[in-house]
Amino acid sequence: MMPPVYLDHNATTPVDPQVLDAMLPYLRSEFGNPSSTYSLGRRAREAIETARGQVADLISAFADEIVFTSGGTEASNIAIRGGAGSGGLRRDIVTTNIEHPATDACCEILAREGFSVHRVQANADGLVEPASFRECVGEATALVTVIHAQNEIGTLQPIAGISAIARRHGALMHADAAQSVGKIAVDVRALGVDLMSIAGHKLYAPKGVGAVFIRRGLDIPSVLVGAGQEHGRRPGTENVPYIVALGSACKIAALKLDEESARQRHLTDTLLHRLETEIPDIVLTGHREFRLPNTLNVLFPGVSGRRLLELCPEVMASNGSACHADQEQASAILTGIGLDPEMALGAVRLSVGRRTTMNDIEVAASALAAAWRGLHPQSGRNSDPAIRGAHP
């Protein structure tokens, strides 16, 4: 039997073989502590600084603006909670209603600490318009934090336009770029951000490593306390092999970015066309143009997306719904952009990657369509108990 087609690269990516080769020496013979002054430690320090430059090059930053973390969630904590703490008497935070839970959780903590949190509503395409920020960003705003590429629907946000408004009022601008870095060109200068989150496992590095961009000259308080690693911004002995892996992944991404982005856009366009041909009422969520090239989030009519994937072992993908003891709940992101909750239960996120082939797309399209027909008879009557409200 052929292995199933992996279409969940927004959840995580396989470690690139070249990345694995780069990190292995630092799990074997090059095990030194980068704070040690003898040769073994110095080589570890040099490896970290090389990786720092590789991450910086991918996003057009300076090397000293990169701080290594355990992943995107920690990066966002440092950026959002640290950034808000640097605002002095400014006590307002502005974000959106379609953020990743890492951002939402940080904002909830800040709200409990006395900050006011304003959430800008995204439109039906999943876009947040810069004009909407003019109404809530002002002299009391400490930080604006917006996801660059929405992780479920792939919509790309107009960060440069939003950051211009933040800058006009002296507020800091943070972008959660965990899903976009390595998939599309990301330039911190062009975006106008002060802070940005990066997650290694979204761009073919291992899970457990990430980085936060902190603009030069910006002094934000540390969320953690300890020794002086990473200029005191992220104390703790550095995870040398994983940092090397992230640097290697960023170097590879930079070399392949334009070509791979175009190839993946062709794959997702083909997949969408095939699904629309076989399932006439299928709906693409998010923006058709301003989205990640590798991402489709589609609503299969009249069925539960979770049930559909259970009956389609040929495809590994995800949906945004949450299944509880006796019911299934629609994704908060999809209902947040105005979708009917019952319709949103049909959501399936399909995200391609470097290993995805056109044959994978053909196999996946056929299998998904067949699974849908199995749940949705041609008579038009809905046979899926998850949609009818029965036990999923």
The strand pairing partners of 198, in sequence order, are: 211
Q: Is the distance from CB of 9 to CB of 351 less than 8 angstroms?
A: yes
Q: How far apart are CA 198 and CA 36, in angstroms?
A: 28
Q: Which of 106, 107, 250, 323 is catalytic?
A: 323
The three state secondary structure string of 262-290 is: HHHHHHHHHHHHHHHHHCCCCEECCCCCC
N- to C-terminal Cα separation, the chain: 28
Encoded tokens for 198: 């990066």
CA atoms within 13 A on the CB side of 306: 18
Query: What residue type is assigned to position 317 of the chain?
Result: A
Q: 101-108, long-range: CB within 8 Å, 24+ apart, which pairs?
A: 102/72, 102/73, 102/76, 102/77, 102/176, 102/197, 103/76, 103/145, 103/147, 103/176, 106/76, 106/77, 106/80, 106/81, 106/145, 107/80, 107/145
Closest by CA position to 149, among listed 178, 116, 121: 178
250 has catalytic annotation: no
Q: Which sequence positions are flagged as catalytic?
A: 323
